[in-house]
Structure 1
Amino acid sequence: MFYVYILKSKSDPDRYYVGMTSDLRARLKKHNAGEVSHTSKFTPWELKTYVAFSDEQQAIAFEKYLKSASGRAFAKKRL
């Protein structure tokens, strides 16, 4: 399975991060340990939502969409 996830920073509640992984628990631990350069300044993180895909290409496309302007608006309103 491939997971597209949205994290919310506990230290800066207006800060969100969208990513993709095949091991959601391990990836969240890496974010919270400061091992991911894009998220290390805003630890700790909590999982806001995730979507599981069996197809990697669909997961990549959905992650790309969530990082677009219309995808951010969708996530803010629906997720």
Structure 2
Amino acid sequence: MELLFFVMAYWVYIPYSERLDKYYVGQTSDLVKRVERHNEGKGGFTRTGLPWVLIYSISCNSRGEAMVLEKKIKNLGAKKFLQILEDSRDV
């Protein structure tokens, strides 16, 4: 008997709106579809910032893990989080 299991990845992602000069932080199980929905204007805050350009994403093992990371990034601020990532790459 062969056991098969499906591991669903969740994503934490940061798109940027040049129009608003703002970042958005979210989490989803379907990254491509979610970014498409943002750019179709199917979202509250993101509707006003079209177009949104995905500038960062990271895969997480569970929705809970994604939610924790999303909250950490929001508390820190997306711009500061991205700067810390950039600084760590320069080392």
Shorter-chain TM-score above 0.5: yes
Higher normalized strand content (fraction of residues): 1
Distance 1:49 1:71 in 2: 10
Larger Rg: 2
Whole-Å separation in 1 of the counterparts to 2:53 and 2:77: 23
1:9 to 2:17 alignment: yes
Aligned CA-pair RMSD: 1.7
TM-score computed with the length of structure 1 as normaliser: 0.87
2:72 maps to 1:65 = yes
C-alpha displacement of 1:71: 6.2
1:22 aligns with 2:29: yes
Residue 65 to residue 72, structure 1, CA distance change in 2 (3 Å): farther
| 2:23/2:78 contact within 8 Å kept | no
- Aligned residue pairs, count: 78
- CA distance in structure 2 between the partners assigned to 1:77 and 1:4 by the alignment: 16
TM value normalised by structure 2: 0.76
Give the Cα separation in 2 of the matches to 1:37 and 1:9: 14
How far residue 56 of structure 1 moved from its aligned partner, in angstroms, is 1.6
